[in-house]
Amino acid sequence: MAIKVALAGATGNLGPAALKALLEAGFEVTILSRKDSNSTDSLPAHPNQKVIKVDYNDVEDLRSALQGIDVVVSTLAATSFNDRKPLIDAALTAGVKRFLPSEFGSDMANPLNRKLPVFQGKVETQEYLEKLAKSHPDFTYTYTYNNVFLDWGLQVGFIMNPKEHKATLYDGDDVPISMTTLATVGKAVVGIIKNLDATKNRGVCFHDGVFTQKQLIELFKKIDGKEWTTEQASTVDIEKSAYEALKKGENISKTMVDFLYRGAFSRDHTPDFTGKVENELLGLKEMSEEEVIEVLKQFV
């Protein structure tokens, strides 16, 4: 009997990759879409997918949509716990067996990451899921940790700016950082669902590989031979400035991104997942240099 999956956030940054991987794996996918959105109208038809319009603030509406669903995968960009809670409550009351919250990114097992304001919603979500799992043993969760999104991070300039050949080097240019493409994250979600017992009630780390910013720049040079303009920045200083801005209520969006830099690029925040990745369990392989170069070529 095919596992039935509900995907929340199918048209965001990560959602399309997750949807593609789930459908290719043969799962029946129910796409949850906001009632006031037409973003799913452009999705290609597939015999194993259907779209249900929902109100993400209405637990009963969500519960109805989740009837018969085995696994809920959230790729929603919601930042606060209050935005996340209705979907969790609905999954519980609908009899969903596994919930994958939108935890993609830094390893939240590191206490330093849990203290960063940008991750407050994630921490509260985890605490709530763990509380529910204790009182409702049939309701389980898995946290997915991939650290930096490689392709998305290059596209939006989070890692560096390949179009202009410019980079801000955080804490030097030699910090080893786990990076993962959106497609691999989608495949990891599939791997988790195929291994529900082995991934029950815990976090799972995975990546495409570990790279320093210097290594990425050298790979870009192999592609087009152009030199780069770089500047140095300290994530300690960035974090300090972010807290000061937060106190003043200044430019909250930028402030939260600055906290992300601290979590993703600081050695203290364990951005290198070497020794704790579970690629083999999830059916994933690390990328070869040639495969990485093929990804980088998209952005020059």
Per-residue pLDDT tens for 193-211? Answer: 999 999 999 999 999 999 9
What is the C-alpha to C-alpha distance for residues 154 and 228, in angstroms, rounded to an integer?
15
Share of residues in the chain with pLDDT > 90 (%): 94
pLDDT of residue 79: 72
Task: Specify if 278 maps to a domain.
Answer: no
Question: pLDDT, tens digit, for every residue of 113-163?
Answer: 999 999 999 999 999 999 999 999 999 999 999 999 999 999 999 999 999
- Evaluate whether residue 52 is within a structural domain: yes
Phi/psi of residue 283, nearest 5 degrees: 75, 30
Alpha-carbon distance values, 143 to 13, 63, 283 (Å): 18, 22, 17
CATH number at residue 101: 3.40.50.720
Domain check: are 190 and 223 in the same one? no
Does residue 91 share a domain with residue 174?
no
Q: How many CB atoms lie within 10 A of CB 70?
A: 19
Residue 164 shares a structural domain with residue 128? no
Last residue of a domain, one of 160, 189, 205: 205
| Residue 141 sits in the same domain as residue 24 | yes
Q: Indicate whether 273 pLDDT > 80.
A: yes
- Please check whether residues 51 and 156 belong to one and the same domain: no
Residue 1 is predicted with a pLDDT of: 66
pLDDT at 42: 86
Domain span at 13: 4-146+180-205
Same-domain pairing of 153 and 241: yes
Q: What is the mean pLDDT of residues 249-259?
A: 93
When the pLDDT of each residue in the chain is averaged and rounded to a whole number, the result is 97
Residues 102 and 163 placed together within one structural domain of the fold: no
Q: Give 274-295 pLDDT, tens digit per residue.
A: 999 999 999 999 999 999 999 9
- What 232-239 contacts at long range (C-beta under 8 Å, 24+ apart), as own/partner pairs, is 232/168, 232/169, 232/172, 233/168, 233/169, 233/170, 233/171, 234/170, 234/171, 235/170, 235/171, 235/261, 235/262, 235/265, 235/266, 236/262, 236/266, 238/170, 238/262, 239/116
Q: 300 CB contacts (<8 Å, ≥6 apart)?
A: 162, 163, 220, 223, 224
For the segment 245-251, the average pLDDT, to the nearest whole number, is 93
Question: Residue 225: CA atoms inside 13 Å, Cβ hemisphere, count?
Answer: 0
**Residue environment code for 154-180, b if the CB has 16+ CB neighbours within 10 A, otherwise e:** bbeebbbbbeebebbbbbebebebbbb
Contact 152, 158 (CB under 8 A): yes
Q: How many residues are recorded in the chain?
A: 300
Looking at residue 148, what is its pLDDT?
Answer: 98
Specify the pTM.
0.95
What pLDDT digit, counting tens, does each position of 37-76 carry?
Answer: 898 888 989 999 999 999 999 999 999 999 999 999 999 9
196 and 60 in a common domain? yes
Task: Clarify whether residues 185 and 86 are in a common domain.
Answer: yes
**Do 127 and 224 share a domain, yes or no?**
no
Do 109 and 13 have their domain in common? yes
How many structural domains is the chain composed of? 2
Tell me, yes or no, whether 133 and 230 share the same domain: no
Under DSSP, is residue 290 helix (H, G, I), strand (E, B) or coil?
A: helix
* Long-range Cβ pairs for the range 45-49 (8 Å, 24+): 48/2, 48/23, 49/19, 49/23
Tell me the average pLDDT across 81-94: 96
